[in-house]
Amino acid sequence: DAMVIQNPRYQVTQFGKPVTLSCSQTLNHNVMYWYQQKSSQAPKLLFHYYDKDFNNEADTPDNFQSRRPNTSFCFLDIRSPGLGDTAMYLCATSGQTMNTEAFFGQGTRLTVV
C-alpha cells in the first residue's frame, strides 16, 4: 500500500498560470518535505514542515509556497510557473528520530509550456 501519495503524477501548466501539487501520507509522520528534481540532477530540498512549523531553504524562490493544513496533507503552490520550473517534484515524510528512514512519493512530473 502506498504510504506517500502524490497527485497528479503528471501535470502540464501554462507559463504564469498558478499550479498546486498535492501530497498525502498515511504514516502520521511529523516531518514532510518537498523537493525539486530537474533532469539528470539530484533532488533539491525546497522546504519542509516539522508539524506546522514551516522551514524554507535559503535559496528557494519566493514563487514556491507550501501549505500543510493537517498532519496528512501538504501542498506545493507555484504562483507563477516559469519554463525553468519544469521538473519532477517529490514529496517525502519522516519521523523526527534519527533512526527512521524517510519515505518518498512517486513524484509529480510538472511541465510548464
Partner 1 sequence: DAKTTQPPSMDCAEGRAANLPCNHSTISGNEYVYWYRQIHSQGPQYIIHGLKNNETNEMASLIITEDRKSSTLILPHATLRDTAVYYCIVRVHAGGYQKVTFGTGTKLQVIP
Positions touching partner 1 (CB under 8 A) are: 4, 30-31, 33, 35, 42-45, 48, 50, 55, 88, 90, 92, 94, 96-99, 101-107, 109
Grid cell at residue 12: 502540464
Query: Which residue's CB is nearer to partner 1, number 8 or number 18?
Result: 8
- Least Å distance, CB 35 to partner 1, is 8
- Least Å distance, CB 18 to partner 1, is 24
Burial class (CB in 10 A: 0-12, 13-18, 19+), 9: exposed
Burial class (CB in 10 A: 0-12, 13-18, 19+), 92: buried
Query: Which residue's CB is nearer to partner 1, number 20 or number 100?
Result: 100
- Least Å distance, CB 113 to partner 1, is 19
Distance from the Cα of residue 19 to its chain's centroid? 12
